[in-house]
Amino acid sequence: MSTEPWRSPMRERAEDLLRDFVSRADELLQTQDRMNGLLSAVVGLAEDLSLETVLDRLVRSACELVGARYGALGVIGEDRSLSHFITVGIDEQGIRSIGDLPTGHGVLGLLIREPRPLRLHDLGQHPIASGFPQNHPPMKTFLGVPVRVRDVVFGNLYLTEKTGGLDFTPEDEDLAVALAAAAGVAIQNARHFDDSRRRQKWLEAGMELSSRLIVTPRPGDAENLDLVSETALRVSDSALAVIAVPAGDGALRCRSSLGVQSLQAGREIKASGVVDDVIRTGKSVMVRDPQQVFDDGVVEKLGPVLVCALGHSGSDNGVLILARQSGSGPFTQAEVESSALFGSRIGLALDLARVHALREQNLLFTDRERIARDLHDLVIQRLFAAGLSIQSLRRYTPDPVAHERIAAVTTELDDTIRKLRDTIYSLRTGGNQEPLTGRILKVAEETSRGYAVVPNVAFSGPVDDTVREDVAGHLLSVLSEGLSNAARHSGAADIRVAVTASADDVELVISDNGRGFEEPALTSGLANMRHRAEMLGGSCSIDSEPGMGTRVRWRVGLT
């Protein structure tokens, strides 16, 4: 008797149970794999504290976790549109061919207005779908979830084209929501780290720069202000840095400008309520519209602007204006606060340097006054007495030649006394009222007086702006000595003077086409030229050949 009829139902039941067990085991394994993938993704988000890296890793991890071909993260700006868009799955060439990145229309805008998970079978069939731009890859299945940072929606995660053409499942949505929640914590940590790093950059730059400015002998010079602009430009990742001071009638005058579309020094900037508030309160302000600060001719290619005071409210140091390129992200609150501390520190350094320079100047003027008094009370009186004594010799000799010689010596003494009086006046008034170029021309004119040859004087570079007063004094003395030698001894028909200045050095060249000379024993005049150059760490060369003229080259560094 066969037992097959009653054993077959049992076997079928056992096979069904086995298949069900295997199916559940596969589901458990898949769930375990997904949980392991989610855990790895969460751990990966915490491996780097750079915000850009965290956002990029979030999109890539989400694509791998749910099997999406394309992924994107849209960061929501203050105007409730997408201010930043990170994509995965489309190469750089494809992004360029698509054109402008999304700003938050259609389904993407729906997630901004209604921040909750959204799954679609066909993205293009949604009632508010706005379509794809030209060259955009085809996308059908869609999954979007919001990314929150402390209950505030930071942006939205967009995933499309699930592997195999399948729809995204509720399990995919749960995984994406969980990953987005973990990403919110990572984004918050990355923001804190980014703020801390930026604050540190501003603080270190301010400390280093203020230390340099305090010891500078010329705190308000354009070179030092350019250094402030350059430092601020670097630490703030800006495209333009401007230092401006009040110029009266509500206008500002540019003192320093570096970067794109830099302004010419001395140019006036329109009156701005934003800048006026910063000068009045001493607090830094960030504005998104550059037209609130700059003229229409300057705002091209400029984006957010940060204005901070250099010093306390009402300070004469003016303001520092920083602008980023158009389309760049705004300055963060950490940058606004750090810039205020930077400006306060730099303003204080400029004030201290200015006080130090005034104190040194006061000491110099006191010393000059003492020297002038000694010259007047001792030297001039003795010269005057010597002149009277020489004149009294006339009655002891009837020789006309002797009388002429006495008159010549007396005239020379009178001329020396006049020059000493001019020197005394120069010492008492600071001696720096006239530009250096004017004093050079005056020396050339006075030295050539009485001779047939008038020197040809040429200038190159910022002679009046870069040559320090101590260097100018030596340069004028060398010029007087060189021109005197050329006019009296060379027999030249042409004497040329060239003064060339740069930010690093100044060079004086005196050349003539006279009779020249072989290398002589050092005379007092030539030795004095070389000595003045050596005192300033410079050089002096004198080239001459008989019949070939003479060339004096005197060069001194300014740094």
pLDDT of residue 342: 92
pLDDT of residue 306: 92
CATH number at residue 547: 3.30.565.10
* Cα–Cα dist 308/278, whole Å: 6
pLDDT of residue 61: 82
User: Are residues 277 and 236 part of one domain?
Assistant: yes
pLDDT-based confidence at residue 39 (cuts at 50, 70, 90): low
pLDDT of residue 539: 92
384 lies in a domain? no
User: Are residues 50 and 141 part of one domain?
Assistant: yes
Handedness of CA 249, 255, 256, 262 (dihedral sign): positive
Output the CA–CA distances (angstroms, integers) from residue 14 to 9, 19, 370, 432, 504, in the order listed: 9, 9, 119, 110, 96
pLDDT of residue 255: 79
SS3 state at 403: helix
pLDDT of residue 215: 75
pLDDT of residue 555: 93
For residue 556, pLDDT over 90 is answered with: yes
Lowest mean pLDDT across 385-389, 422-426, 454-458? 422-426
pLDDT of residue 521: 46
Mean pLDDT of 173-184: 82
481 lies in a domain? yes
Nearest to 329 by CA among 291, 350, 303: 303
pLDDT mean across residues, the chain: 78
User: Are residues 167 and 56 part of one domain?
Assistant: yes
Lowest mean pLDDT across 44-53, 249-258, 417-426, 427-436? 427-436
Looking at 135, 165, 192, the residue that finishes a domain is 192
pLDDT of residue 46: 60
User: Are residues 259 and 312 part of one domain?
Assistant: yes
* Cα–Cα dist 365/346, whole Å: 28
358 lies in a domain? no
Provide DSSP, 423-442: HHHHHHH-S-SS-HHHHHHH
Lowest mean pLDDT across 74-83, 394-403, 466-475? 74-83
User: Are residues 212 and 175 part of one domain?
Assistant: no
Per-residue b/e over 455-493, b at no fewer than 16 CB within 10 Å?
bebebebebeebbeeebbbbbbebbbbbbbbbbeebebe
User: Are residues 341 and 233 part of one domain?
Assistant: yes
> How many CA atoms lie less than 13 Å away from 259 in the CB half-sphere?
26
Structural domain count of the chain? 3
Looking at 192, 207, 225, the residue that finishes a domain is 192
Range of the domain at 75: 33-192
Q: Which residues contact 89 (CB under 8 A, 6 or more apart)?
A: 63, 68, 69, 70, 71
For residue 289, pLDDT over 50 is answered with: yes
pLDDT digits (tens, 9 = 90+) for 428-480: 555 445 678 888 888 887 777 656 778 888 888 888 778 888 888 889 888 88
Cβ neighbours of 296 (radius 10 Å): 9
Query: What are the DSSP E strand ranges found in 3-133?
Result: 68-76, 82-88, 118-120
pLDDT-based confidence at residue 104 (cuts at 50, 70, 90): low
For residue 2, pLDDT over 60 is answered with: no
pLDDT of residue 41: 57
For residue 183, pLDDT over 80 is answered with: no
9 lies in a domain? no
26 lies in a domain? no
User: Are residues 207 and 160 part of one domain?
Assistant: no
For residue 7, pLDDT over 80 is answered with: no
Identify the DSSP state of 135.
T
395 lies in a domain? no
User: Are residues 42 and 184 part of one domain?
Assistant: yes
pLDDT digits (tens, 9 = 90+) for 199-244: 999 999 989 888 888 877 665 566 788 889 899 999 988 888 888 8
pLDDT of residue 449: 64
- 83 within 8 A of 63, measured Cβ to Cβ: no
pLDDT-based confidence at residue 29 (cuts at 50, 70, 90): low
pLDDT of residue 355: 80
User: Are residues 455 and 539 part of one domain?
Assistant: yes
Q: How many residues make up the chain in this entry? A: 559
- Look at 184 and 530; give whichever has higher pLDDT: 530
pLDDT digits (tens, 9 = 90+) for 294-329: 876 677 788 889 999 888 776 778 889 998 888 777
- Look at 181 and 9; give whichever has higher pLDDT: 181
Looking at 128, 162, 192, the residue that finishes a domain is 192
For residue 40, pLDDT over 70 is answered with: no
For residue 26, pLDDT over 60 is answered with: no
For residue 15, pLDDT over 80 is answered with: no
Lowest mean pLDDT across 49-63, 71-85, 339-353, 389-403? 71-85
User: Are residues 269 and 155 part of one domain?
Assistant: no
Could you give the percent of the chain with pLDDT greater than 70?
Answer: 77
User: Are residues 151 and 82 part of one domain?
Assistant: yes
CATH number at residue 178: 3.30.450.40
pLDDT digits (tens, 9 = 90+) for 508-523: 999 988 888 776 544 5
pLDDT of residue 431: 47
Q: Find the radius of gyration of the CA atoms of the chain.
A: 41
For residue 144, pLDDT over 90 is answered with: no
User: Are residues 227 and 182 part of one domain?
Assistant: no
* Cα–Cα dist 503/559, whole Å: 8
The predicted model scores a pTM of 0.54
